[in-house]
Structure 1
Amino acid sequence: MLQSSFLTDLLATITNRTQQTAATRDARPIEELCKVLLSNIGDVSANTMVRSILHKYRHLDTDARMQFFRCLANDFDIDPDAVATLAQRYANTRSARDLAALTVQAEPRRQEILRRLNRLPGATADLVAMRCDLFDAIREDAALARIDLDFAHLFASWFNPGFLVLRRINWNSPANILEKIIAYEAVHAIDSWDALRLRLLPEDRQCFAYFHPSMPEEPLIFVEVALTSGIPGDIQSVLADDRDATPTDRMDTAVFYSISNCQAGLRGISFGNALIKHVVDDLSASLPQLKTFVTLSPIPGFRDWIDGVLADQSTPEADSLCAALNKTGQGDDKASEPLRRYIAHYLVHERRAKGDPMNAVARFHLGNGAIVHNVHACGDRSANGQRASYGVMVNYLYDPARIDRNIEDFTTTGTVATSRMISTLLKTPRTLTHKATR
């Protein structure tokens, strides 16, 4: 069996190299190859064509990629007049045949190009990278944004959470995966292998990542979890090098303290909701003593907002807030009660024009049914935490008994679920209002 497997792999390797060589020899422009790909060619010829297209694309310079995207946008777009005619016909007949014709005509041909490119093993990663290039191109030519509608539509299906694989990342995971965890960490930087070991090796620290079968060595998103006794209010205690590990019999809380998206080309494709629920289920099964599931989240955008509140203000309350902001790096959370009131207000009441919360992290967790549980004026004393948001942080609580109701209330009426602590903070009158960011 081993010999047979070896010979099979050897023949497959030779065949693959032959196909790749044939692909590199095709001298036709990439735009012409895309037209051929849409024609009625056999599977073997189609695979060779896909290899040629992807090979040529990888070697295009910036100007040539811009030309390629413009070709996709214009030459492989829908025919608006034909769509309008078929839409009117379907409006009159309501027949399945006319609906089918309308559906085909209403889909840009470039969408089928992307589908056919994805038939080749390993091509999914190429398309994710291609979308990154498209983002850059859109900044130069906004008309190319219509191509991204096709990418987003297809990626939402291809990366459906039902297709994803949850894997625990530990100190024994492959080195190439561990290197990517270090590189992709977006919340609390990992600056060495020793720092990574402290986040993965102790039993009270865990990490979980989603992978796609077509990209088995590329994490899509990962979450780092601290298993603690009680709910922590600052990230320094969670990440301290000299901390004592929490004994298993004292673990009662799972703290999601860092969630990092890894693939820029999958922007807008949401995995976080499914990931958190999946990890909660796994942890609940393996550690039934866990009763509380919370985050310890940063509050990006708060610094700009509070600067706008304090702009050109000179009152006792403004002076108190300024003093509290100056002390957030010192760790005296209780001395910052006036600041905590403004943090709570920002998360619960400050809204965008469309009516949802101003803070993006809040929108994510509240939309997934979480509760604003507690806020901390001195949550992150690091230089980066101070620079990003004056170091303030928040716990979002996931209570399984309330998640569905919270989602419904937030979705239908915009109601933000809060704990008793937050409700008390919000009842205290405030005299300052936002003016303009400095």
Structure 2
Amino acid sequence: FVEVALVDHISEGIVPLLDEAAAPGKADRATTAIFYSISNTQDGLRGVSFGDSLIKRVVETLQAELPRLKTFATLSPIPGFRGWLSKNAGALLTRLDEKRQTELGRVVGSLPPTAERVLAAAEDTSALDARSPVRQLLLNAAAEYLGRATAEGQPVDPVARFHLGNGARVERLNWAGDPSPKGLKQSYGLMVNYLYDLKRLDKHRALLAQGKVAVSGEVDDLFLKG
């Protein structure tokens, strides 16, 4: 089962998509289809690779009915991120250069910054503006989690495993994409867009078979260097 929103851009947050009071857009003018609920990623179906046929079938149907549609992407949760970060924050901090460690340490009140202090500061996401070093580290960590954290060659995140296994790429991270209690609990409110480029699905699957995750340039720039 797939729920789709027809819009004019890749959506950054779930709230507008679920707003029943919002005026409906004109489907015949939409350029982008956003998949925001796919039942195959739920418990019991994780790792079952029939999303390709499911999503391709939906895409082909939409394209036949609405030829203006050119972009097909998801707005997806990152359910395993908080748990992963709680175990890996310390190791990530050691990879920061001295300047970033100092900036982060000043904010959290610990030089060098400790994982405990950083994770505590991350809890108040509403206080983290765009220039916050804590916010930047969360985005770096989410990119690492989605783009580099693998087990036996597969992404450790269940939703990432589903979409990447079906040929999508990690397109963009969205700060405060899901501000609900559930969203904050599982990923500090972060959500991710996976992009389905139908011409590159096989290429992305082949890349994953080599233990590498397909990501956009924007996400690649968030990887910690070194």
Q: TM-score over 0.5 for the alignment?
A: yes
Is 1:393 equivalent to 2:174 in the alignment? no
Query: How far does residue 338 in structure 1 lie from its aligned partner after superposition?
Result: 2.4
* Distance of 1:338 and 1:265 partners within structure 2: 33
Partner of 1:323: 121
- 1:231 Cα offset (Å): 0.8
Alignment map for 1:259-408 (pairs within 5 Å): 259-261=38-40, 269-310=48-89, 315-316=112-113, 318=115, 319=117, 322-327=120-125, 336-352=135-151, 354-408=152-206
Give matches, 1:31-430, under 5 Å.
222-261=1-40, 269-310=48-89, 315-316=112-113, 318=115, 319=117, 322-327=120-125, 336-352=135-151, 354-411=152-209, 413-426=210-223, 428-429=224-225
Q: Tell me if structure 1 keeps the 8 A contact 2:148–2:212.
A: no
- Superimposed CA distance per residue, residues 42-86 of structure 1 (whole angstroms, 9 cap, x where no aligned partner): xxxxxxxxxxxxxxxxxxxxxxxxxxxxxxxxxxxxxxxxxxxxx
| Cα separation, partners in 2 of 1:337 and 1:249, compared to 1, 3 Å | farther
Residue 323 of structure 1 deviates from its aligned partner by: 3.1
The aligned amino acid for 1:357 is P
Deviations 1:188-224 (A, max 9, x none): xxxxxxxxxxxxxxxxxxxxxxxxxxxxxxxxxx010
Q: Deviation at 1:271?
A: 3.4
Is the contact between residue 2 and residue 39 of structure 2 (CA under 8 Å) also seen in structure 1? yes
Q: How far apart in 2 are the matches of 1:263 and 1:305?
A: 19
Q: Deviations over 1:297-340 (max 9, x none)?
A: 11111111111234698544855664344216x79677533211
Q: CA deviation at 1:262?
A: 10
SS of residue in 1 equivalent to 2:199: coil
Q: Which amino acid aligns with 1:405?
A: K
Quote the Cα distance in structure 2 between the aligned partners of 1:296 and 1:361.
11
Which whole-Å CA distance do the structure 1 matches of 2:218 and 2:194 have between them? 12
Q: Distance in 2 between matches of 1:359 and 1:245?
A: 33
Q: 1:337 to 1:243 in 2, by over 3 A?
A: farther
By percentage of residues, which structure has more helix?
Answer: 1
Could you say if the C-alpha distance between residues 265 and 247 of structure 1 is closer, same or farther in structure 2, counting changes exceeding 3 Å? closer
Q: Tell me: CA distance 1:390–1:267, structure 2 relative to 1, closer, same or farther (3 Å).
A: closer
Give the structure, 1 or 2, with the largest relative contact order (CA under 8 Å, sep 6 or more): 2
Shift of 1:266: 7.1
Counterpart Cα distance in 1 of 2:222 and 2:193: 15
TM-score, length basis structure 2: 0.78
Contact residue 331 and residue 378 of structure 1 kept, 8 A: no
Query: What is the alpha-carbon distance in structure 2 between the residues aligned to residue 266 and residue 316 of structure 1?
Result: 40
RMSD value, Cα:
3.0
The C-alpha deviation readout for 1:176-197, integer Å capped at 9, x for no partner, is: xxxxxxxxxxxxxxxxxxxxxx
Shift of 1:241: 3.2
CA contact (8 A) 2:51 2:166 kept: no
Distance 1:262 1:333, change over 3 A: same
**Contact map agreement 2:49 2:162 (CA 8 A) in 1:** no
Q: Could you list the runs of 5+ residues in structure 2 that have no partner in the other structure?
A: 94-109
Question: AA paired with 2:213?
Answer: V
Query: What is the total number of aligned residue pairs between the two structures?
Result: 205
SS in 1 for 2:222: helix
Structure 2 CA distance for aligned equivalents of residues 223 and 271 of structure 1:
13
Q: Normalising by the residue count of structure 1, what TM-score does the alignment of the two structures yield?
A: 0.42
- Structure 2 SS opposite 1:274: helix
Alpha-carbon contact 2:170-2:214 (below 8 Å) kept: yes
Distance 2:43 2:122 in 1: 36
Q: Could you tell me how far 1:379 is from its partner in structure 2?
A: 1.3
- Give the direction of change, closer, same or farther, for the CA distance of 1:287–1:270 in structure 2 (3 Å limit): same
Could you tell me how far apart the structure 2 residues matched to 1:376 and 1:262 are?
20
Q: What is the one-letter code of the residue matched to 1:397?
A: L
Partner of 2:100: none
Aligned-partner Cα distance in 2 for 1:375–1:367:
19
Please tell me whether Structure 1 or Structure 2 has the larger radius of gyration of its CA atoms. Answer: 1
- Is contact 2:6–2:30 with CA below 8 Å preserved after alignment? yes
Consecutive unaligned residues of structure 1, counting only runs of 5 or more, are: 1-221, 431-438
